[in-house]
Structure 1
């Protein structure tokens, strides 16, 4: 039996935490500083994590390696299974010739690239996050922006930043439900707190998106639409999480944001759309990689001078073609709504999950409290996984589009080949996370940070940020630290629910720099191996958002306590 010790290095918690941080520091130095390919950075950091576990924490070599193997399998299924099927669904729309119609369809709302960024990356991406999560929004909206004339790099950074505010309630509020199940705090209560934190962040995200697309001019000319989308999303997220349903929060918020923009554009149009598009193409043309997002994708050129979708062109497409263009996403919404919201089907799907005690590991590892570690049981959601639901959606789309089965299979195989390095990257990163979790490295870091006492209210979002940055999942971050946050709150005289919610909200902005999410974005838009550039483009915004959340939670713990339920 192996039981981790909180301070194995010289009986010093601070020194042990520093040693435990070494694999994370190595990963970010290799990825962001030395610009090493993500899969090499992941493998090197994994190797160091195993060394720290064995030498620093005294974990036997066998369990350390078995922990890595379990993490790698989890990274492949269900994590990369979701990404694989999401991109395959997109490829089906491309080979069917319908994706070009989808580009034109967005011209019905606006042909301004700044507005399109808000509609697609923020509103549509939020809807996908609500239903699927786990990278699907980044993958799908990223390729959509590329098809509309955005460079791969600009598209990837835009969708990564847009995929922040919806994350806490993503996959039908899975992160919040997980925190509730671990802490015993009703998940409705946690969701109400989170809704009073991330909803404020949501107001400003669309403003940042238009600034990324067109700088200060973009903010000056399109702020009414950006603020309308952000305010509608934020208000709906607050109202739904507190008074309607935690599970439906992001669905309601995304549709509210989209509807608000559509209504605004009926009476107001921004100036400078043509100049913004011309500037976008001029800048992007100088920085775009030689290879397109997908060399095999038969996406038509954007038109003369890369003009992209026009409202007039969109109208010429016709209602039937527009509906067929949106069919894959309507199917995805229908399938996920039925699977997540219809209780009999939801319970049936959950009943098919296979819980497997990892051979050689389960029953041999304890947590720091001396109890059997829950992380040694691998859940195989072969039918309930969002990836499987996306596969079902793709099969339905292929049937309606009349795509030959052989062609659909070829597209699936080519997607696997295209994702081969991404599969290795995510597997190595999740292996790293599992080794750190089961060896005790993660709990050492968290306990050291929790030593701040009452000032911990300021630092509490950092734990969620750290957990999500490493694992790529706000759900995993809550699995790591929700109970620790609750315990610290009880000991420090702070509201435990506030700290658990802060952990969830911190994870929202940690996803911006998650290696898993960076890899998904890079792969989706054709920037394989350039994750380090994406990290440099998103890190400052992640830290800025994190600072804002830290200040908000600290104020909510005292002078702004009236903001809480």
Structure 2
């Protein structure tokens, strides 16, 4: 028996929206005022959302519980799978002692915390967002910064804030692909529009990050490096999004800004090295030197990670992996049972893509790195168990957050808030980014937010005479600044930054900055809609009934074969280099 969503349960949109926003206000209250732990706040919000869905929206109890369970299942896989794999990869690097070499390498480039944050949180995090997305960038970069000696709160907070500008083009452009599918606006047009909004934020973000860490005066000491980082990233993001499409802006901008900043730091150094208060002065033992082979060996887990994630992002590889490693099923008594306001049933198909998931690529990278790092596989298994214990509460938090996201979506609570914002008339372009922000806050994913609100954004813009690409792109751009305070992201960053149980501190650290950046984007989109209309790209809407191409898995097998050859070659080169270095050291000892 079907159940139809109720969008306006009180027949008064303002009142219905006020009730609909209660579960979100509960999260803010629990984390900011009551300072609850993450799992406590998320469980409380989920419970209240279920009660509102049942008592106010009339959702059957069984459907409400099944919807929440579906979200919990999605939280466990693929989201928690990514986090477990990412933290495991970092843990084996530390256990092997190789992270000490990475720390020495980073210090040789710069021991200044401000510049390390730009290299790792901003640029490397962007690269990871472009290839993996879904929590992996924050998990890996936060863990790296803590390992380098960063204050854990700043490490996690800075990585969350840095993970804004790249989110729109994350996971090889999937958020924009989904926005295109639901709005029938070409991917390229959305990519161009987003690429004419976010680069402005990308220029400002490095300065914003450094100022958060060290204050305005100390930020000015490294202004040249900040400008190199921000402008190189913004230019490459703008160029690739406008001329190459949505798949590569983060990858190109991330790598490009790393190269530009490292080259610049070879020619320029800050007068003063800045560290956190009460942190020991930087010390580099100049008597200790590492060969290129040793440095590459220490970085091998992240080299493997980069190659694997790029390969896993290629569609032919995804196709072949899904052909042999995908289990999917309709959620019993939930699939096509809920009917939306347009009379369409909502599909609930769970996909267990255990081979093509990003978490699997990260795990395989870690497994390949274990012998290279000098660990036994027994030690690797022990570290995996340690990682699971370390992430117990974050896993509970993330699972309950996704349960929350599913129940508010399936019950119609989210659509109530969206409809209320859509009733703002000519001011809608100003509020369009708020919808994206809201969607990412709830679901933790810009992709999900675009799937949720993309069609509504396009329809509302058309009704008020605004080009729909403006508001659809605004949904994408607004969503990126909601990522830093999404309970899912907070849980990931807390787990990686050794702040489990202190999620409220991290939330309070980031929430103000999320609102500041959201307001900036809202004003920018309003100007794009009515003043700077020349920025809007020309395009033709897609035919929603166009034929889908059949995947060619043979290409995927060739890619996987090439991947195996590349990884085997790199592994062999690292092992040979390490053996040669040991042999050379032995000969030197005999000579002496």
Range class of TM-score, shorter chain: over 0.9
- 2:331 pairs with 1:365: no
For residue 148 of structure 1, report the CA deviation from its aligned partner. Answer: 2.1
- 2:56 pairs with 1:81: no
- 2:42 pairs with 1:67: no
- The alpha-carbon distance between structure 1 residues 63 and 115, as it changes in their structure 2 partners (threshold 3 A), is same
Are the aligned partners of 2:17 and 2:420 in contact in 1 as well (CA < 8 Å)?
yes
**Superimposed CA distance per residue, residues 438-480 of structure 1 (whole angstroms, 9 cap, x where no aligned partner):** 1111111101111011210011000111111121111111111
Residue 552 of structure 1 corresponds to: 524
For residue 489 of structure 1, report the CA deviation from its aligned partner. Answer: 1.1
Residue 590 of structure 2 corresponds to: none
Are the aligned partners of 2:111 and 2:282 in contact in 1 as well (CA < 8 Å)?
no
For residue 402 of structure 1, report the CA deviation from its aligned partner. Answer: 3.9
**Superimposed CA distance per residue, residues 243-283 of structure 1 (whole angstroms, 9 cap, x where no aligned partner):** 1232111000011111211222232211211xx22xx142x
Counterpart Cα distance in 2 of 1:229 and 1:308: 26
Instruction: Give the number of aligned pairs.
Output: 535
Are the aligned partners of 2:297 and 2:372 in contact in 1 as well (CA < 8 Å)?
no
Are the aligned partners of 1:149 and 1:308 in contact in 2 as well (CA < 8 Å)?
no
- The alpha-carbon distance between structure 1 residues 313 and 145, as it changes in their structure 2 partners (threshold 3 A), is farther
Given the alignment, which residue of 493, 505, 509 partners 2:477?
A: 505
Are the aligned partners of 2:157 and 2:506 in contact in 1 as well (CA < 8 Å)?
yes
Counterpart Cα distance in 1 of 2:349 and 2:32: 33
Are the aligned partners of 1:103 and 1:309 in contact in 2 as well (CA < 8 Å)?
no
Counterpart Cα distance in 1 of 2:184 and 2:381: 45
Counterpart Cα distance in 2 of 1:41 and 1:313: 50
Q: Secondary structure at the match of 2:415?
A: helix
Q: Secondary structure at the match of 1:317?
A: coil
Residue 522 of structure 1 corresponds to: 494
Residue 136 of structure 1 corresponds to: 136
Residue 7 of structure 2 corresponds to: 6
Q: Please identify the structure whose Cα radius of gyration is greater.
A: 2
Counterpart Cα distance in 2 of 1:391 and 1:267: 38
Residue 291 of structure 2 corresponds to: 318
Counterpart Cα distance in 2 of 1:517 and 1:91: 20
Q: Secondary structure at the match of 1:379?
A: strand
For residue 313 of structure 1, report the CA deviation from its aligned partner. Answer: 7.0
- 2:282 pairs with 1:307: yes
For residue 344 of structure 1, report the CA deviation from its aligned partner. Answer: 2.7
Given the alignment, which residue of 432, 445, 464 partners 1:492?
A: 464
Counterpart Cα distance in 2 of 1:224 and 1:84: 37
- The alpha-carbon distance between structure 1 residues 475 and 309, as it changes in their structure 2 partners (threshold 3 A), is farther
Given the alignment, which residue of 307, 316, 333 partners 2:306?
A: 333
| Unpaired stretches in structure 1, ≥5 consecutive residues | 286-304
Residue 369 of structure 2 corresponds to: 397
Counterpart Cα distance in 2 of 1:324 and 1:174: 32
Q: Secondary structure at the match of 2:268?
A: coil
For residue 149 of structure 1, report the CA deviation from its aligned partner. Answer: 2.2
Residue 411 of structure 1 corresponds to: 383
Task: Write the mapping of 1:42-441 to structure 2, written as runs, cut at 5 A.
Answer: 42-273=42-273, 276-277=274-275, 280-282=276-278, 305=280, 307=282, 312=286, 316-341=289-314, 343-351=315-323, 352-374=325-347, 376-441=348-413
Are the aligned partners of 2:132 and 2:313 in contact in 1 as well (CA < 8 Å)?
no
**Superimposed CA distance per residue, residues 423-448 of structure 1 (whole angstroms, 9 cap, x where no aligned partner):** 11111111011001011111111011
Counterpart Cα distance in 2 of 1:213 and 1:49: 36
Q: Secondary structure at the match of 2:155?
A: helix
**Superimposed CA distance per residue, residues 277-334 of structure 1 (whole angstroms, 9 cap, x where no aligned partner):** 2xx142xx6xxxxxxxxxxxxxxxxxxx352667x578x2221111112111111111
Are the aligned partners of 2:312 and 2:358 in contact in 1 as well (CA < 8 Å)?
no
- The alpha-carbon distance between structure 1 residues 49 and 309, as it changes in their structure 2 partners (threshold 3 A), is farther
- The alpha-carbon distance between structure 1 residues 173 and 122, as it changes in their structure 2 partners (threshold 3 A), is same
Are the aligned partners of 1:131 and 1:337 in contact in 2 as well (CA < 8 Å)?
yes
Q: Secondary structure at the match of 1:35?
A: coil
Residue 583 of structure 2 corresponds to: none
Q: Secondary structure at the match of 1:557?
A: helix
For residue 347 of structure 1, report the CA deviation from its aligned partner. Answer: 2.0
Are the aligned partners of 1:59 and 1:439 in contact in 2 as well (CA < 8 Å)?
yes
Counterpart Cα distance in 2 of 1:153 and 1:272: 23
Counterpart Cα distance in 2 of 1:531 and 1:105: 31
Residue 482 of structure 1 corresponds to: 454
TM-score for both structures, normalised by structure 1: 0.92
Counterpart Cα distance in 1 of 2:155 and 2:499: 11
Are the aligned partners of 1:23 and 1:48 in contact in 2 as well (CA < 8 Å)?
yes
Residue 575 of structure 2 corresponds to: none
Are the aligned partners of 1:148 and 1:308 in contact in 2 as well (CA < 8 Å)?
no
Are the aligned partners of 1:107 and 1:313 in contact in 2 as well (CA < 8 Å)?
no
